[in-house]
Amino acid sequence: MNDQTKKVQDHWTRQGTLERLDAVLTSLGHAPHTLTPEILSSVDHLHTGGLKTTRDQAQRLELGPETRVLDIGCGTGGPARFLAHTYGCSVTGIDLTPELLETGRVLTERCGLTGLVSLELGNALDLPYEDQSFDVVWCQNVTMNIEDKAGFLAEAFRVLKPGGVFTSTEFSTGPGGDMTFPVMWAYDPSLNYLLPEDDMRDLFERAGFRIREWTNYSGEVLDWLKQLGAPSSKLTNQLIFGGDTPERASNGARNLEEDRVRYWMITATRP
């Protein structure tokens, strides 16, 4: 493991995640060992926009029981469980962070979805899967921490079947000036690898993808970030991200409002 990989792991690790979740679930009257994706929906969609983003992203795809999905940067597996539960598809999730994966595996078992969802430790730059293995490659809020975006896209392209779809939510830099830190994915510029939109598009095309849709989704997620900055419920991402979540979420909202960053929903195909 190189130093940068360790830094990313450390950034996303908050020990005791499952214990915190169980305590809050119990306080809200839920039986922690008998769960559904709906019960967990406010806490385990870790990307910007939460469950709404997941739904909007999924609606751009053709998904069903025969679909094999790879979720790169799966976190605790909320979107993987949503896709399996809603569409019946088989989902493999891969992530760098053991704490998130261990929590996600328990939640998957408690939701009765271990037959459809598998969460595995691994690196997005060296995917442990054969060429052309998946119908859909899914990614949400991952490449902000990846400097080698060309390598990431090459791996996503490699494991995708011809005619398959790569769907992604990504931040880019905006024209409004330097970002305000800390944000959800970085406390300072050392873990922040955002690019301008034009550079991102160029990397997609160089990797061989054919862009089908490239939507500015910034306005769709601002309310969610503001709610995360002033949480009205106990069952939120703060249980996973830590006590400074409100500050980081508020900075994220400010960066979007001031056009320092932009948020994109992207759908591309492998010809």
More confident residue, 255 or 2: 255
Specify the amino acid at residue 9: Q
State residue 172 phi and psi, 5-degree precision: -125, 165
Distances (CA, A) of 131 to 123, 155, 159, 160: 16, 9, 4, 7
Note whether 220 and 151 are within 8 A (CB): no
pLDDT-derived band at 228, boundaries 50, 70, 90: confident
Half-sphere exposure of 253 (CA within 13 A, CB side): 17
pLDDT at 230 > cutoff 90: no
Per-residue pLDDT of 22-56, as tens digits, reads 999 999 999 999 999 999 999 999 999 999 999 99
Structure confidence at residue 161 (pLDDT):
98
pLDDT-derived band at 229, boundaries 50, 70, 90: low
What end-to-end distance do the CA atoms of the chain give, in Å? 34
Q: What gap in Å lies between CA 212 and CA 226, rounded to an integer?
A: 30
- Compute the average pLDDT of residues 163-179: 98
More confident residue, 140 or 229: 140
pLDDT at 222 > cutoff 90: no
Per-residue pLDDT of 88-139, as tens digits, reads 999 999 999 999 999 999 999 999 999 999 999 999 999 999 999 999 999 9
Q: Is 136 left (phi over 0), alpha (psi -120 to 50) or beta?
A: beta
Name 162's Cβ contacts closer than 8 Å, sequence gap at least 6: 132, 270, 271
Q: Where are the alpha helices (DSSP H) in the chain?
A: 3-12, 17-27, 50-58, 78-87, 98-110, 149-159, 197-207, 218-229, 238-241, 245-257
pLDDT at 187 > cutoff 70: yes
Residue 161's SS3 state is: strand
Question: Taking the mean position of all CA atoms in its chain, how far away is CA 61?
Answer: 17
Structure confidence at residue 233 (pLDDT):
80
The H or E element that residue 173 is part of is strand 160-173
Note whether 72 and 154 are within 8 A (CB): no
Strand 134-140 to 68-72 pairing: parallel
Q: What is the DSSP letter of 180?
A: P
pLDDT-derived band at 235, boundaries 50, 70, 90: very high
Per-residue pLDDT of 200-213, as tens digits, reads 999 999 999 999 99
Query: In this structure, how many other beta carbons lie within 10 angstroms of the beta carbon of residue 164?
Result: 23
Q: Domains in the chain and their CATH numbers?
A: 3-269 (3.40.50.150)
